[in-house]
Amino acid sequence: MLFRPTSILYRSSNSWISRQSRDPYVKKRVLDSNFYRSRSAFKLVEINDKWNILTPNLRAIVDLGAAPGGWSQVVSRTLEWDDEQGTDGVPRTSSGEEADDPLAMWEAIKNLDSPTDPAGFGLREGTRPAPGVIVAVDKLPMKPIPGVLTLQADFLQPATARTIKRMLTAPFNRDGKADLILSDIGANQSGNRIRDVEQSLEICHAVLKFARKHLRSDFELRQDTWDRQGVLLLKHFAHPDIDEFRKEHLEPNFRGVYYLKPGSSRSESSEGYFLCRGWRGDSGFGLL
């Protein structure tokens, strides 16, 4: 009996290793020249290929629960930030100093007159100007990513919210709002399935609360552009109340809400994504 927990753990570990060795997206992550930091990066790649949420008109993007940085890498590369930042790969300001401190980067951004090359990161030669600011937030530390302002903090804390707004505010983005908010946050597995399921719904509510304060409203946009601004991509897990959450909190506050299950999301996983487009803001009739 004393050895049973160890044997269960051993079998579980073997099962995980076996699954990883067969997973085509795990192999692709290693073999792909982009070398994304996480397998989940391919989910965002798939979603963007179909829905085109990473567009040149974006002024500001926030990636919540970003560590280790796979989704931020996708955003950075899709928006064509230069990966070659010297031999160490660290983003630098125009003066050549390391720019991995978020507030130092913000100081470099805030005085710009246009969204061209925020913080002097450098763009690939011959490509269009950078469309805006990318802010990645997580409680865990992240290695620098070209064009991404990283913030190690809890996004639910008021002080963090104030810092994010400061980081998003610039002459080309004076209201400090985000056009796109991404959340690939998953609840930490406690072993108590009921608690884990409840926590996943709590995360959805927390992200929506954050979006209410930081997402740009589409109220003054032309009808043909609403689906490209005021966008929230929100991961969720199966929950008895998830349909109610969608109907009562998402659909009244966005002009379009879509359920997505990317091919790279494991079939046995209960995860899915809500793509919410056209945040109504104060013009919406829903209650959060």
For residue 164, give the 3-state DSSP assignment.
helix
Contact 249, 288 (CB under 8 A): yes
Q: Where are the beta strands (DSSP E) in 54-179?
A: 60-64, 133-138, 148-152
As a whole number, mean pLDDT of residues 224-245 equals 84
The number of residues in the chain equals 288
Q: Between 49 and 121, where is the model more confident?
A: 49
Instruction: For residue range 180-227, list pLDDT tens digits in order.
Output: 999 999 877 777 777 877 888 999 999 999 999 999 986 545 455 555
Q: Which two tokens stand for residue 18?
A: 């076996």
pLDDT attached to residue 170: 75
- The DSSP letter of residue 178 is B
For residue 239, give the 3-state DSSP assignment.
coil
CA 96, 100, 106 angle in degrees (round to 5)?
90
Q: Between 21 and 75, where is the model more confident?
A: 75
Q: E strand or H helix at 278, and its extent?
A: strand 271-279
Task: Give domain limits for the chain.
Answer: 1-31, 38-279
The residues annotated with a catalytic role in the active site are 235
Instruction: For residue range 126-181, list pLDDT tens digits in order.
Output: 444 445 789 999 999 999 888 889 999 999 999 999 999 988 887 778 889 999 99
pTM of the entire structure? Answer: 0.75
CATH number of the structural domain 38-279: 3.40.50.150
Instruction: For residue range 43-83, list pLDDT tens digits in order.
Output: 999 999 999 999 877 889 999 999 999 999 999 988 877 54
